[in-house]
Amino acid sequence: MVLRPPRLRDARTWSEIRLRNEQWLSPWEPTSPHTWEERNSPGSWPALHSALRSAARRGTMLPFMVYYGGRLVGQMNVSNVVHGALRSCTVGYWVDSVVAGRNVTPTALALVIDHCFNEVQLHRVEVDIRPENAPSLRVVEKLGLRREGFYERFLDIDGAWRDHIAFAVTYEELYGRSMVGRLAALPPEPSWRGVR
């Protein structure tokens, strides 16, 4: 598992994964007036890449590409980064359906949480998930994130204002351990249980 910043040359692979995973990803994506093909073509990547880099330079976002087995399999964005008294952020992510159930998302999220707490020195990490998104709910359950609230009609997703459940973890809740260590200490899951 490797997390790294997005690169301009990711366009073709990013697009191929996104286009192939339309049915898997579109129910969880922000509403857009553009078609899936328009939003996820190789030609759309340069503008998105530029926006991600710009937000990263301002310190409001930490964008990561997720690599597993030596290939790009997803993206994880730390957004709404706030310093000062709050020192908080929100994490959103997607992964290729072909790696679902291989512990990719929990591991990537654990790595990101550890990075946010240690290198970025944030205090709180939040993940907001639609109640219908069972695989993502399992990710935060597996990592032991605390359910913190329920946001009604929170985000305009897939053509409608959708409710979200807020999950969070603070630095103190790890008791000096890493989130990756917490994940590694879990017993193996039964082979019949599908996890993303």
DSSP secondary structure string, 161-192? EEEEEEEEEEGGGGTT--HHHHHHTSPPPPTT
Q: Is domain 2-184 annotated with CATH 3.40.630.30?
A: yes
What whole-number distance in Å separates Cα of residue 60 and Cα of residue 105? 22
Delimit the domains of the chain by residue range.
Answer: 2-184
- 12-15: list long-range contacts, CB under 8 Å, 24+ apart: 12/42, 13/71, 13/72, 14/40, 14/42, 14/45, 14/65, 14/72, 14/75, 15/40, 15/41, 15/42, 15/44, 15/45
pTM of the model: 0.93
Yes or no: say if 179 and 145 are a contact pair by the CB < 8 Å rule: no
Q: What is the pLDDT along the chain (196 residues), one digit of tens a residue?
A: 999 999 999 999 999 999 999 999 999 999 999 999 999 999 999 999 999 999 999 999 999 999 999 999 999 999 999 999 999 999 999 999 999 999 999 999 999 999 999 999 999 999 999 999 999 999 999 999 999 999 999 999 999 999 999 999 999 999 889 999 999 988 776 544 444 4
